[in-house]
Structure 1
């Protein structure tokens, strides 16, 4: 019995070959995660997979290792294609493939928007083994890049599949499915199982093995979750108070719009806090630059929209703050999954104003938990009010001076129009009374 336990506590015991076991060790992967233990043996047997696992649980390794092992047995160009909903996640997946395959000469190409197509065409001409990309850019290359096709593809992976099946990607996914071979292995990975994921399962998987390394919608046990009801006009004060109280921490602050990310970053910087914004409308180089500064510790507060809530593995995040409550409660799972990763502990604090109460109640229903309240004396928090308001005034002036009130075509920068922070969200419902439950 002890031998059996030891077997599943090692990559070798799961059937991974010595070369890849060594690569895992070089990456510091000592023991396989739960999703890897469940998924890898089935994948090595040649089965299609549906993997449901909490974000930060090692999903990439669960599909990358079996693919690389199969590639070793039968090397060929364009062996596998992995699709991701965001550029950053695609880049990260490719980096993991390259790190795991560095000892066996694996070549990857990353096909994402915001980067010159010609550079990517040159990468494809080198006939890489693994193609990782976002759906729209992959379709662009399949349509326009001479000599590139996926007709010989052996493995097809949809990572963060629930989001890939949104309307924005649906047409591209259909086009890709029409030009890849029916005889292939298909892996579908997601933190949440939606009706669309179920529909795709019927459309493109053959007798898949379904693996659930987590309950349907759950957060990890090492995550300390709290909320705080705050009047909308004092929300910025509470944010500054929490960040100051946790000044040594690495934090991600989630907002609803790209305009708010920029505005909040300016407000916090004026108050001496090291904040940097990231949103989907920034150019790719700006997004990666911001992410790298955050990863390197130059800035310890990342202000972001939901573009950063999925798949970005930033292991050192101590705290997630929901400055704006997400209208889709499943997005809460992805946001708070940026902390307490790979067995570490973490804190998630949600600031809930009177317009967001209904959305917050939906989150508690989804995770089946009543969260404790974040403890703070309001009189103490409001000592910051004058300084915060002055910082907001200066930040608005800076935005106006830089032309930030005009929307730029193509949204190539992190500039954007500032919004009235205290209007009710379009879909939010105001509670009649603002009080503790």
Structure 2
């Protein structure tokens, strides 16, 4: 009888090859069965020597390694006692808060097979792991407990008493983390880049020290001997955000008799000139297009500014705005050190804030100031998924999204909280509005193609609670304060991680007294790729490294004078 090795050699030398260990193993098993059959037949007829069947050593090692790998994968258990971080439709893909992935361990993703047509109806939820937003600083344990010497309040910054009293009337006593870091630096005259998660109170972080320093400057004798000039220009990307910043600034400036004016989009040159007819305001809040018009018509001069603020920097330095921003910066004398912000011939102090911190900011700012002297303040949770907001991702067919939306709105109607529904295009906002009208859902719409006169007041009516559902594009995702919003619905999944962070940041904001949640409908294959990156970051508890804007690099200066 031929041994198995001879049969194996005959098989391999006959020109047959095997592409995997599984095919090789199947062939050997078939040979084994053949040899065993012969042995049994011979045993029934004659008594022979015991037959030893040998398997090639290399094949044994391969089979053992395959078994070990299979056992190792099966031993990975991501579920531990306690609260779950990831809840999936398939319980085997759940992950506990107490489970930490190894450095080289690949997470088992619920969304791995979401590009397949059979995955519709699947879902997973990233549960909130904290009850309080990470940007909230420590508070006394009891409301009646007196603040200790270690407890930092706005009084600790030695701001003007009128400012502290105005904050206290709105029950704003303790600074957030970004305010704690940024306010002292701005008070000391540093140029500052502040990047922190959405809803962390960045507007107050620059308004408070600016109003404090402007009031001190206007109280000095030398100021009364010169012509009034604009003290601060705050540049924002949208008219809605301009109106919001203006309302906050007016409330803080009223005790000092300081003026705040707005120059926003959708206004003609006549309206812009009318804004400055009564004299330059102390603080001007402007959108890029309107401010460029005002500069071209010589309605204002920015050569003697005390402060220049770029709010929502990741949007304003985007290619759609960057040329206008560079033009505006060219009209401004920006200081390169705190010493240049004092005395005669002083230059403007620069403050740049945003919810994301993409690359390319320094390249643009280097044209007007010394980037090395800028103080950069970054939040520890920058570009992370918010740990205090519950986030659900649902794989759903396009034709089923309207039904899922209606069901989610029914649940939200029970507590009367605000709901933001985001779409990627203005046409989708309009179409979805018609559908909700047919279903009897009361709502308002906000999108960039609306005339400025029509947009005015829409968001304000939503903030006041006159209507609870706002259909919008990403125009409402940047900077707008939405403390009454409890649910954000991504009817269209956002086109980038940056957009997702901004949309999700409309809930769980500083000063909000309610829990927040985000519901995202995932339909297209290109949506799945973004979802997989988000799920990986959630399971690893890491940042979304892909958060960046496609900044246009500044063109090289022309060294040839001819």
Normalising by structure 2, we get a TM-score of 0.62
Aligned to 1:336: 504
Match of 1:255 among 419, 423, 429: 423
Match of 1:143 among 287, 292, 296: 296
Per the TM alignment, residue 205 of structure 1 is displaced from its structure 2 partner at its CA by: 4.7
Q: Deviations over 1:137-188 (max 9, x none)?
A: 1011001144x21111111111110110011111111111111113221001
Aligned to 2:528: 357
Per the TM alignment, residue 99 of structure 1 is displaced from its structure 2 partner at its CA by: 0.8
Per the TM alignment, residue 316 of structure 1 is displaced from its structure 2 partner at its CA by: 0.2
Do residues 230 (structure 1) and 401 (structure 2) align? no
Aligned to 2:150: 5
Q: Deviations over 1:101-156 (max 9, x none)?
A: 1100121121111124323322223210111111121011001144x211111111
Unaligned runs of 5+ in 2: 1-146, 219-227, 335-346, 542-562
Do residues 90 (structure 1) and 242 (structure 2) align? yes
The structure-2 alpha-carbon separation of the partners of 1:292 and 1:300, relative to structure 1 and needing over 3 Å to count, comes to: same
How far apart, in 2, do the equivalents of 1:161 and 1:60 lie? 13
Match of 1:78 among 213, 216, 230: 230
The structure-2 alpha-carbon separation of the partners of 1:198 and 1:225, relative to structure 1 and needing over 3 Å to count, comes to: farther
Within-5 A mapping of 1:203-282: 203-206=367-370, 207-248=373-414, 249-282=417-450
Match of 2:166 among 12, 18, 23: 23
* SS of structure 2 residue aligned to 1:21: helix
The structure-2 alpha-carbon separation of the partners of 1:90 and 1:366, relative to structure 1 and needing over 3 Å to count, comes to: farther
The structure-2 alpha-carbon separation of the partners of 1:338 and 1:315, relative to structure 1 and needing over 3 Å to count, comes to: same
Do residues 299 (structure 1) and 467 (structure 2) align? yes
Within-5 A mapping of 1:284-433: 284-342=452-510, 344=513, 345-355=515-525, 356-365=527-536
Aligned to 1:111: 263
* SS of structure 1 residue aligned to 2:492: coil
Aligned to 1:58: 201
The structure-2 alpha-carbon separation of the partners of 1:329 and 1:33, relative to structure 1 and needing over 3 Å to count, comes to: same
Per the TM alignment, residue 369 of structure 1 is displaced from its structure 2 partner at its CA by: 6.2
How far apart, in 2, do the equivalents of 1:83 and 1:286 lie? 22
Q: Deviations over 1:198-250 (max 9, x none)?
A: 32344445412211234230243321111111122211111111111222332
* SS of structure 1 residue aligned to 2:262: strand
Aligned to 1:37: 180
Do residues 197 (structure 1) and 367 (structure 2) align? no
The structure-2 alpha-carbon separation of the partners of 1:214 and 1:102, relative to structure 1 and needing over 3 Å to count, comes to: farther
Q: Deviations over 1:323-359 (max 9, x none)?
A: 1111111100000111111154201011111432123
How far apart, in 2, do the equivalents of 1:201 and 1:4 lie? 39
How far apart, in 1, do the equivalents of 2:488 and 2:434 lie? 19
Normalising by structure 1, we get a TM-score of 0.80
Is the contact between residue 330 and residue 368 of structure 2 (CA under 8 Å) also seen in structure 1?
no
* SS of structure 1 residue aligned to 2:520: strand
Is the contact between residue 39 and residue 211 of structure 1 (CA under 8 Å) also seen in structure 2?
yes
How far apart, in 2, do the equivalents of 1:15 and 1:253 lie? 42
Instruction: Tell me how large the CA RMSD over aligned residues is.
Output: 1.9
* SS of structure 2 residue aligned to 1:238: helix
Q: Deviations over 1:15-67 (max 9, x none)?
A: 21212111212333121111111111111111111111111111111001111
Is the contact between residue 186 and residue 205 of structure 1 (CA under 8 Å) also seen in structure 2?
no
* SS of structure 1 residue aligned to 2:230: coil
How far apart, in 2, do the equivalents of 1:166 and 1:366 lie? 25
Aligned to 1:159: 311
Q: Which moved more, 1:170-179 or 1:285-294?
A: 285-294
Q: Deviations over 1:283-319 (max 9, x none)?
A: 1222223212312222211010000001111210010
Higher Cα Rg, which structure: 2
* SS of structure 2 residue aligned to 1:56: coil
Unaligned runs of 5+ in 1: 371-437
How far apart, in 1, do the equivalents of 2:305 and 2:357 lie? 26
How far apart, in 2, do the equivalents of 1:220 and 1:358 lie? 20
How far apart, in 2, do the equivalents of 1:70 and 1:117 lie? 32
* SS of structure 1 residue aligned to 2:413: coil
Match of 2:210 among 41, 47, 67: 67
How far apart, in 1, do the equivalents of 2:281 and 2:239 lie? 19
Is the contact between residue 24 and residue 30 of structure 1 (CA under 8 Å) also seen in structure 2?
yes
